[in-house]
Chain A
Amino acid sequence: MLSRVAESIYWLNRYIERAENVARFLEVNLNLILDLPRRVQQQWQPLVATTGDSEYFAQHYGEASAEKVIQFLAFDRNYPNSLISCLQRARENAQSVREVISTEMWQQVNSFYLLIANTAADLTLADLNKFLEEVKQASHLFAGVMDATISHNEGWHFGQVGRLLERADKTSRILDVKYFMLLPSLEDVGTPIDELGWIALLKSTSAYEMYRKRSNRHLITPAEVAEFLILDPDFPRSIRFCLSQVERSLHLITGTPPGAWRNPAERSIGRLRSELEYLTVEEIIERGIHQFLDRLQQEINQLDQEIFTTFLDLRSVVYQSSQTQTQIPIQTQTQSQSTLT
């Protein structure tokens, strides 16, 4: 498969997943705010903080308010991670590989794009909730259509890698919203108000029902919510689940047997996944949840970079080869510091 094609399918899926998660961010904040006592001021600044783009926001919008943050995250065409920008780029990527993806996928990307482009920026609160619901639906529909209409070969796996890396990153950031969210006051920690916050968070990751079902300990405690969203082996939005699927897809692309690695990307993902498999939530809390998530996000970025250099950008390899005038076909396997025996 052409590297450019693989890259486009990768980003097509990342952008769709990113859009879905932007909707989830807005949703979790809306729900948290509605549950806060009236005496507490609405908090929109923390949401901006989780995007990592506070500076852009301050420059273009000033003080955070509901209207401004919605405009910023959903409809700002100049902000690269807004809903509309994500869909525009998803659509561009889809268009550049239209002969590779299925017609149904192309149509779904198109209607997803139109859903956002045709929505007015001055939504009422009631409309906003419905709109966010539709965005999530459109993303699920895309994933389903892709799953059901194209062969699960290399291209499909690159799509999976893109979607699941993005999801792992965003789940970690949604958890972080709670960290940035200033609690009403210290004595509210562990009170019903605090519990409502965690429930809102679980719901925004579609995790509430599965969390309740996972064991016979039905309590909602911060540690257990963190454990569920970071370390659960089966829940499809948990970070561990996402990363194991990424690893599986990478291995199916290269043919490297499980438990081994033949390129930097496979090595990084293997390490990261196994760390999560053997980590306990107590250890995470000891390190500090925010610090842990921060590092995890960096490692995910690193992995994205390694995937790019391993599969998608062969220019450096090509350059070396033309220097030495070798006739060896350039393949990822030539970087074989393999641990295979």
Chain B
Amino acid sequence: MQFDTYDPEHFYDELFAGPQQPRSQGKSLIEQIQSLPEGELLQRQQAAQEALFKLGATFNVYGDIEGQERVLPFDVIPRIISAQEWRYLEGGLKQRIHALNLFIDDIYHDQKILKDGVIPETLIVSAKGYLPPCQGLNPAKGVWCHITGTDLVRDRDGQWYVLEDNLRCPSGISYVLENRRVMKSTFPQIFRTIPIQPVDEYPSHLLQTLLHLVPQTVDSPTVVVLTPGTYNSAYFEHSFLAQQMGIELVESRDLIVLDGYLQMQTTKGLQRVDVIYRRLDDDFMDPQVFRADSELGIPGLMEVHRAGKVAIANALGTGVADDKVIYAYVPEMIRYYLGEDPILANVPTYLCWEEKQLKHVLANLDKLVVKAANESGGYGMLVGTQATEAERQDFAERIKANPRNYIAQPTLCLSRVPTIVGEEFSGCHVDLRPYILYGQDIYVHPGGLTRVALKKGSLVVNSSQGGGSKDTWVLC
């Protein structure tokens, strides 16, 4: 397979500046791929896919009695980010997480940002992720969002934008680690010649972030990963992370609140738990405080947490900043809390609760992407350019009925990376989700998950909608 006929067309291509003009960070890779014997690349692609299945990097498909598991489709052509570009992203992400953490802490304490009129109070109170029971909480070391998976995209002109912050329990890091493991065995010689930043330290950094939350008085702390159970679609990742960190993977039925502590049931009796890395939504954590019908929660957990006897990562209540209306104010937050200009831009966002902007949105539905404020994973969304007139009508009614719940953004033209489709290279759209850990200081894991829309022309990268993934190389 050759790149001779590959044409980036009028899109921003991560590896090519034009036909047969590789970008400098991709040059060496392209040369080495070109030099492979005919058919070799397809064979390696096949082998990589099989290796991933063997490693068990799978996600469950709900309601399948055979217990069939699927592997996220994987493409061996990596996305490459130059060292210089990465420094820029790293700085922008650190700044953003820093401000977001200050914002969440402020919201659950003095609400200065509301009092100063930067963000209208009604927007906070009406945000689904805002949890009044968290008011006055003091999470250990003042950190709320310990693990973040920010979604970044790049438009036609190469400009980066933040699409979503994902401050609750972002998933996907297991694919990053497994993809890399497979890539190293698929192209060992390429790794020898190109200086690529390694990704394997993630579990150690994560464990350190979690241990950082333990009070100094606790001698040998118990840290656990809390999973909703084997039927959760990300169960593999929960189990993988627990294994990599060498800590227990628990379900809520293993846990009980007793004598003012959170404890887990072991064969030798009860054992105190000091830190939970939870992969369960806020709503389900404690049926006494949040959803009473939650069977996944641990009654009494919130009380123990409030008394500082168990740390929870991420803290409860961080979802307030995941609301897409609140998202629109992140640049303001950065200016307000840090007195700096935002390094990374937001996608321009129209807020339907403001009358003028609402009018503009309704008049331009055929050009915009409309999103419900509280949905994620590609649900509750209208892509105006691809929708029918009837669908747009229907959405217009929904927006008018509840303007607070909707935002609109221009349709971005995501950047592309050459990808093996059938037996040739095709430009496919990608996004990028780097993972950021907030412990003693803020750490941005080099690279992240590159999701790719494998259907020709599709802009949707979600794994539930036919997306796949690529390895992400950050050069040293």
Contacts and interface: CB of A to CB of B under 8 A. Distances in A.
A106 B56 contact: yes
Contacts of B121: none
B258 A318 contact: yes
Nearest to A117: B66
Contact of B249 (A99, A317, A322): A99
A1 B250 CA distance: 11
Interface stretch (A2-10, A42-50, A207-215): A2-10
Contacts of B67: 88, 91-92, 95
A194 interface: no
A311 B249 contact: no
Contacts of A3: 254, 265-267
Interface string A1-27: 111111000000000000000000000
A237 B97 CA distance: 61
B239 interface: yes
Given A2-B254, A4-B254, A318-B256, A330 B240 contact: no
A327 B265 contact: no
Contacts of A322: 258-259
B259 A314 contact: no
Contacts of A327: 259
B56 A314 contact: no
B230 interface: yes
Interface in B220-259: 229-230, 235, 239-240, 242-243, 248-251, 253-254, 256, 258-259
B254 A330 contact: no
Contacts of A103: 56
Classify chain A: how many residues form its interface, as a range.
20 to 34
Contacts of A91: 67
A287 interface: no
Nearest to A313: B265
Contact of B265 (A107, A314, A329): A314
Given A4-B253, A318-B256, A99 B266 contact: no
B388 to A, nearest CB: 43
Contact of B269 (A4, A96, A158, A331): A331
A99 B240 contact: yes
Interface in A315-341: 317-318, 321-322, 325, 327, 329-332
Interface string A97-132: 011000100110000000001000000000000000
A214 to B, nearest CB: 37
Nearest to B235: A95
Interface string A69-105: 0000000000000000000100110011011000100
A300 interface: no
A43 to B, nearest CB: 34
Nearest to A91: B67
A95 B230 contact: yes
A154 interface: yes
A158 B267 CA distance: 10
A1 B249 contact: no
B239 A314 contact: no
A311 B239 CA distance: 23
B476 interface: no
A253 interface: yes
B264 A2 contact: yes
Contact of A330 (B66, B229, B235, B270): B270
B268 interface: yes
Interface string B266-277: 111110000000
B7 to A, nearest CB: 43
A330 B269 contact: yes
A141 interface: no
Contacts of A95: 67, 230, 235
Contacts of B264: 2
A318 B300 CA distance: 15
| A4, A253, A311, A321: residue with the most chain B Cβ atoms closer than 10 Å | A4
Given A6-B267, A117-B66, A99 B242 contact: yes
Contact of B267 (A1, A88, A96, A107): A1
A96 B232 CA distance: 11
Interface in B282-314: none
B258 A2 contact: no
| B54, B242, B256, B269: residue with the most chain A Cβ atoms closer than 10 Å | B269
Given A91-B67, A99-B239, A99-B243, A314 B269 contact: yes
Interface string A45-59: 000000000000000
20 contacts: A1-B266, A2-B254, A2-B264, A2-B265, A4-B265, A91-B67, A92-B67, A92-B230, A95-B67, A96-B230, A99-B242, A103-B56, A107-B54, A117-B66, A311-B267, A314-B270, A327-B259, A329-B270, A332-B267, A332-B269
Given A96-B230, A103-B56, A117-B66, 16 more contacts: A2-B248, A2-B250, A2-B254, A2-B264, A3-B265, A6-B267, A92-B67, A95-B67, A95-B230, A98-B56, A98-B239, A314-B265, A321-B259, A329-B270, A331-B268, A331-B269
Cβ-closest 8 pairs across A and B: A99-B243, A331-B269, A330-B269, A99-B239, A3-B265, A311-B267, A99-B242, A98-B239
